[in-house]
Structure formats: C-alpha cells, structure tokens
Amino acid sequence: QVQLVESGGGLVQAGASLRLSCAASGRTVSSYEMGWFRQAPGKEREFVAAISRGGGDTNYADSVKGRFTISRDNAKNTLYLQMNSLKPEDTAVYYCAANARYSGTWLRVPQNYDYWGQGTHVTVSS
C-alpha cells in the first residue's frame, strides 16, 4: 500500500508555471505506474498525464501536450508535474494516483488506479 500527498498548487496568472509534487510513503513508488488527473468544479475527473514505473514511457492528454511534463524520482519516492504556459482552463484540483496492474493507454482511465492523493488546488487567472 502507498500513501500519496500532493503539493505545489496555488493561484497564478495565465502564462505562468507551477510544479506539482506528489510524495509517496509506504511501499516504494517504483512499484507503481503513476498518473496525474484533474477535476474542475462541476466536471468529471480527467486524465492529465501518466508515467511508467521506470519513467521511460509517458503519455499526455491532448489539452496539455507540449505544456506539461510528468516525471518521477524513484529514489526520492516522488512524482512531479511541471506545468508551463498555464491557461484559465487548467484551473482544477490536481490529483496524483498510483496503480500496479495497468500500463500504457490504460493509465488514462481513473478507475484503473488503486491509490489517490487528497489533491492540490491550481487556479489560473486570466
């Protein structure tokens, strides 16, 4: 089992950057494929980005491709999301998640994840 805690959210202006972190405790994070999701008010939780156990494979939602970068440091048991050129439509609660069973495009499905953090708020003003 793993516990996940996100940090790094905040209020920024459009065009700014933020880096989210997700610190894991319990079982080592290298055991899990991991992802970032977000949920805006009144909307369903949506896929943002995912990364394989070793970090060699990543995939992104079209809406963030080229602006966001997912990475991980297994030695530090931490997942990151670097967010550049932020837009007001990026405003949401951002969650990190971990799963040990699925990989590849299955990582885009939130129901395939076993463990979730509590979320960190990102607000982008225009």
- List pLDDT tens digits, range 70-114: 999 999 999 999 999 999 999 999 999 999 998 888 999 999 999
pLDDT at 20 over 90: yes
The tens digit of pLDDT for each residue in 56-81 reads: 999 999 999 999 999 999 999 999 99
| Conformation bin of residue 42: beta by default, left when phi > 0, alpha when psi is -120 to 50 | left
- The per-residue pLDDT for 77 is 95
pLDDT at 26 over 90: no
For the chain, give the percent of residues with pLDDT over 70. Answer: 100
Q: How many residues comprise the chain?
A: 126
- The per-residue pLDDT for 27 is 80
Cβ distance 20 to 81 under 8 Å?
Answer: yes
In 10 A of CB 86, how many CB atoms? Answer: 22
Which of 46, 19, 44, 27 has its CA nearest to residue 35?
Answer: 46
Whole-angstrom distance between the N-terminal and C-terminal Cα of the chain? 40
- The per-residue pLDDT for 28 is 83
